[in-house]
């Protein structure tokens, strides 16, 4: 039988990629980061894509990438922070995968992303306000998308162990 994918979901900075790498190593599954997949495919960073083409075009690329990756099996996939806020992507990933939300408070996100400049949506003078607004808006969508919710406000290894205990 084909092994289902595991899709890690959650807000920017929740640890999707770091935990994903660990989880893949521990389970022997392959790992792919959705943003890195897009960056490789188009030869540009996410920031460059936003700058040159705008967010709507990035979302199209993201949707295509979600379709392409969900055609594979047995992978740990770190989604982008916006990916699972779109029902279409949730449906695509659900066909052969389980979605796991890394849940953590916005205060932890703020601390983790204090000096980050790689997230175009937060690269603005009112970063903290924008972050909180986006967090409030998205959290219910993540919870709706998720099959399983784990506590993301922990060390990557702890989060990985918690995920392994519930999958």
Binding site for ligand S3P (CB under 6 A): 12, 16, 35, 46, 80-82, 119-121
Nearer to ligand S3P, 16 or 150 (CB): 16
Rounded least distance, CB 32 to ligand S3P, Å: 12
Is 32 strand, coil or helix?
strand
77's tokens: 């996939």
Q: Which is nearer to ligand S3P, 3 or 124 (CB)?
A: 124
Closest to ligand S3P by CB, 80 or 152:
80
Alpha carbon distance 116, 90 (integer Å): 27
Tokens 């986006």 -> residue: 134
Cβ closest to ligand S3P, residue 46 vs residue 104: 46
Instruction: Provide, rounded to whole angstroms, the least separation between the CB of residue 158 and ligand S3P.
Output: 20
Our CB check for ligand S3P shows the closer of 3 and 140 to be 140
Report the interhelical angle of 16-27 vs 156-166 (nearest 10°): 60
Helix H or strand E encompassing 7: strand 5-9
Residue 124 C-beta: closest distance to ligand S3P, Å: 13
Minimum CB separation from ligand S3P for residue 46, in Å?
5
Beginning with the edge strand found earlier in the chain, give each strand of the sheet holding 75-78 in spatial order: 30-33, 75-78, 5-9, 97-103, 148-151
CB of 77 to ligand S3P, least distance (A): 12
- Please return the burial class of 88, using the count of CB atoms within 10 Å of its CB with bins 0-12, 13-18 and 19+: exposed
């Amino acid at each position: 039988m084909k092994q289902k994918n595991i899709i890690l979901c959650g807000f920017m900075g929740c640890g999707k990629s770091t935990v994903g790498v660990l989880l893949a190593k521990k389970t022997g599954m392959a790992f792919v980061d959705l943003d890195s997949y897009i960056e490789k495919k188009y030869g540009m960073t996410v920031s460059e894509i936003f700058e040159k083409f705008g967010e709507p075009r990035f979302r199209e690329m993201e949707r295509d990438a979600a379709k392409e990756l969900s055609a594979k099996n047995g992978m740990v996939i770190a989604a982008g922070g916006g990916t699972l806020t779109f029902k279409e992507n949730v449906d695509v990933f659900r066909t052969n995968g389980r979605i796991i939300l890394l849940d953590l408070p916005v205060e932890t996100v703020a601390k983790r992303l204090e000096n980050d400049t790689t997230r175009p949506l937060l690269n603005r003078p009112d970063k903290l306000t924008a972050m909180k607004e986006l967090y409030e808006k998205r959290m219910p969508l993540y919870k709706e998308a998720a099959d399983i919710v784990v506590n993301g406000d922990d060390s990557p290894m702890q989060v990985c162990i918690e995920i392994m205990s519930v999958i």
